[in-house]
Chain A
Amino acid sequence: MFACIHGRSVSKSTADSGARGLTLVELAFTFSPLVEETSAETVVLDVAGQSLLFGEMSSRTKDESNVMSNIANTIVRRASHLHLTVNVAVAANADAAIHAARAFKGITIIAASDELLHLGALSIKHLDYSLAAIDEKRAEEFHETFALWGVRTFDDLAKLPLPGVAERLGQEGVRLQKLAQGKSDRRLNLVRPPVGFEQSLELEHPVIELEPLSFVLSRLLNQLCANLNEYSLATNELRLRLVTERCLEYRLQSGISAAYEKGPTEVGILNTCDLLHERTITLPVPMRDAKTLLRLVLFDIEAHPPVAPIIKVAISAEPVQPRASQTGLFIPLAPEPEKLEITLARLAKLVGPENVGSPELLDTHRPDAFRVIKFRLNQRSGRNARIASRLALNADERQRDCAAGGPAMPTFSVMGFRIFRPPWAADVQTIRGQPTRISARADSSRKVRGQIVCTAGPWRASGDWWRADIWARDEWDVVVVDPASTEHEVLCRIYRDLSSEQWFVEGIYD
């Protein structure tokens, strides 16, 4: 049993602002998943097996015409709610339903084997040649032939003798005659339902704690991941939208409330301005594991909690092709991307997101200039190339030194340096500009104090003279011996800030 909807689709832009504009296809999908978009103004849907939904349950009978009528009425009613004016025809044959919906206004119900009764009086001009897989040029030839033969209605064509039609018009003519009889047999050319990877849920009661929210999120993410799995897709971006309740003096409780201990004024401002709490979680690799996604979302909510109780949760996923990786025997060990992402989220929660990541040296001579970027696996950026080129330059420089008769630099491992952040302020005694004694202390347990027994320097460095934070300093490498324990020598780098004339301990060679 097939239903055909014929009408003009309302574009989404012109739709009523209150309700989202629906096309005929989307309207059809609200009744059946088996939908054919025959043309821009015509869709056909298979409504077989919907007697339980649309039948007269009170009479406990399965009268087919009754079911067909109910389906057609429901379609018209739903279309009118969406401001669509449509003709609906329900028939046992899809092509008969199409012809009826195009030709007759309102609702047309065609019972099985009554097709010719309803369509017989239709002009032959209404015959859709494309349903018989006939192109336009050939269709014009057929039309002229029918006019010469005096065939003016569906009934005329249907009653022609089959052998004569086959002999003169071939198989195409036979197919056209079956169309006119309403007895054609073809499968629907189905369209896939619109893919929307978004799940939402309105809550009966506002949620103020993380645990109940996790159950809601789990349900939504499970459904979302099932949809992705159905289409063999994954996601690399999750968008979380939490609609919060408007309330002025509300203090959240327990787990997600730690960040909310703010003054009532601030809370009020936030609540009146931010009713919608939106977060976007970008994933390094496409994934569709609901448990992993749930943990990441929960970590994100803990780090960036909403400011008021939640009354609606919506979550959407950006569909992408899943990750395909080739493993091998000789590929070095690496964390699984899903596990790594959870570990990074936990670490960010533990020490702060600014303290977790991959270090990157900045392209400047300013000492200790770096930044921390998000750690990603298998990321071979230009930084490696820069470091490699820098090391190559150093090696070349050493070779040039050796070639020029300079000191031979054996291939030792590089000496490590531990830098103090911030540098320790130091009191340094000097004799004729040379440091001889130092006393610096970071706290009660960490200090550098004693006699300077060996000194090399200074090495003057400066930069950024065109900026407000200009820096200039004289660096020294010194060996400090603590008089309390003469065996313990500390090899450190100290510097004198030329702008403030203050001495600092920059770090220790180790």
Chain B
Amino acid sequence: MNALVKTRIQLQIADRFGHVFEQREKRPLEILPTGVAEIDQVLDGFPRGAITEIHGTASCGRTSLLLSALAAASSSEETCALVDCSNTFDLSSAADAGVSFDCLLWVRCNNNLERAFKAVDLLLHGGGFGFIFLNLADMPAKTLRRIVSTWWFRFRRAIENTPTVLAVATPVACVRSCAAMALELKCEGSVWPGADAFVAEEQQRALRSKSEPSSPHLWLVASNDRYEIGSSTVNHSHFLQALTVHVNRERPLAGSDRTVRFAPHSP
């Protein structure tokens, strides 16, 4: 619309409706990178001042994605908060993901959903946090569907016009229209190594004798304390190489799918 025409119209209706065009002008969208290159290429990141919902079944990669986002936020020295409803935050994998615990506030709610929501509300109204992660991944879907929408509306209202990202991990979609972005994650499968590549020669002979060709199991190693592969020690990252996740953006409605691989950490 021509700016002159726009100004004329606004002057004509200013008495009744005020400066409508100025009020409706939105600020440019700010984003927080997720730390996952495949997702950042499509989404750029999580929108600031809005709720992002990440839902999917167990082992679908929700925690991996959010740990990457936490690591990205903490690496840029943003103050982060994790409201852990079911107390399942694993510090070891988070440390391997690069999360800095110095700027992370961890709130454990011991499976009390109401406390978790009140804690998020306090954090949002306290202000100053760059990334708030509400972990509802282990809560039953039935319970999550019963959450009254006013909580989400309250969060959306509190977070708008702030540079804070509120990310919610759930097993089912429950934030509904209050989420500015909704991602559905599906597990495409885990990546397992070939047995021969990882076991020392003397063990391989034993494994060949034990293994059953028709079995789907990976017969990797026997129960000894340590195994040396080359010069390094075997750990979980040698057993389980990656988790492949399919990410589908449900909101906003411009569909974009991506496949992401997450590597296991080394305890």
Q: A residues touching B (Cβ–Cβ < 8 Å)?
A: 332-336, 339-340, 342-344, 346-347, 350-351, 355-361, 367-368, 370, 372, 375, 377, 379-381, 383-384, 387, 390-391, 394, 397, 400-401, 404-407, 409-410, 412-421, 432-434, 445-446, 452-460, 462, 474-475, 477, 479, 488-493, 507-510
Contact = CB atoms under 8 A, between A and B. Distances in A.
14 contacts: A350-B115, A351-B107, A351-B119, A358-B105, A359-B89, A380-B102, A405-B230, A407-B197, A414-B96, A432-B210, A462-B225, A490-B58, A492-B59, A509-B243
B181 interface: no
B138 A418 contact: yes
A347 B124 CA distance: 12
Given A347-B107, A407-B241, A387 B100 contact: yes
Nearest to A393: B266
Contacts of B64: 413-416, 510
Contacts of A434: 217, 219
Bin chain B's interface residue count. Answer: 35 or more
A489 B245 CA distance: 12
Contacts of A488: 57-58
A507 to B, nearest CB: 6
B252 interface: no
Nearest to B59: A491
Given A356-B105, A384-B101, A474-B223, 17 more contacts: A342-B126, A347-B107, A367-B92, A401-B232, A406-B197, A413-B65, A413-B263, A414-B96, A416-B67, A418-B138, A454-B216, A455-B218, A460-B224, A477-B236, A490-B59, A509-B243, A510-B59
B59 A508 contact: yes
Contacts of A433: 223
Contacts of B123: 343, 347
B58 A412 contact: no
B126 A415 contact: no
Contacts of A492: 59
Contacts of B239: 456-457, 459, 477
A415 B262 contact: yes
B225 A460 contact: yes
Given A336-B128, A510-B59, A409 B79 contact: no
A459 B236 contact: yes
Secondary structure dominating the interface of A: mixed
A342 B189 CA distance: 45
B91 A359 contact: yes
Contacts of A416: 61-67, 90, 93-94, 97, 262
Interface string B58-96: 111111111110000000111100000001111111111
Sorted nearest first, the 6 A-B pairs with minimum C-beta distance are A335-B128, A416-B63, A343-B126, A456-B239, A445-B140, A412-B263
Interface of B: 35-36, 57-68, 76-79, 87-98, 100-110, 112, 115, 118-119, 122-123, 126-130, 137-138, 140, 142-143, 163-164, 187, 189-190, 192-193, 197-198, 210, 216-221, 223-225, 229-232, 234-243, 260-267
Nearest to A485: B57
A415 B95 contact: no
Nearest to B239: A456
Given A383-B101, A510-B63, A419 B220 contact: no
A333 B232 contact: no
B243 A491 contact: yes
Contacts of B106: 356-359, 372
Given A357-B106, A404-B230, A333 B78 contact: yes
B125 to A, nearest CB: 8
Contacts of A418: 63, 88-90, 137-138
Contacts of B236: 459, 475, 477, 493
Contacts of B35: 413
A510 B62 contact: yes
Nearest to A336: B128
B96 A413 contact: no
Nearest to A341: B126
Nearest to B188: A489
Name the residue among A351, A390, A459, A510 with the largest chain B CB count within 10 angstroms: A510
Contacts of A350: 115, 118-119, 122
Contact of B264 (A380, A454, A489, A509): A509
A339 B128 CA distance: 9
Given A414-B64, A446-B138, A394 B105 contact: no
B76 to A, nearest CB: 6
A407 B260 CA distance: 19
A379 B77 CA distance: 11
A418 B84 CA distance: 11
A89 B226 CA distance: 92
B204 to A, nearest CB: 15
Contacts of A405: 230
Contacts of B218: 454-456
Contacts of A410: 261, 263
A419 B90 contact: yes
Given A343-B126, A358-B105, A361-B95, A459 B187 contact: no
Contacts of B237: 409
Given A400-B232, A458-B221, A489 B189 contact: yes
A492 B63 CA distance: 13
B95 A390 contact: yes
Contact of B102 (A368, A383, A417): A383
A475 B223 CA distance: 10
A479 B216 CA distance: 11
Name the residue among A347, A381, A383 with the largest chain B CB count within 10 angstroms: A347
B67 A459 contact: no
A417 B90 contact: yes
A347 B112 CA distance: 14
A347 B90 contact: no
A491 B187 contact: yes
Contacts of B127: 335-336, 339
A454 B164 CA distance: 41
B93 to A, nearest CB: 4
Nearest to A445: B140
A489 B59 contact: yes
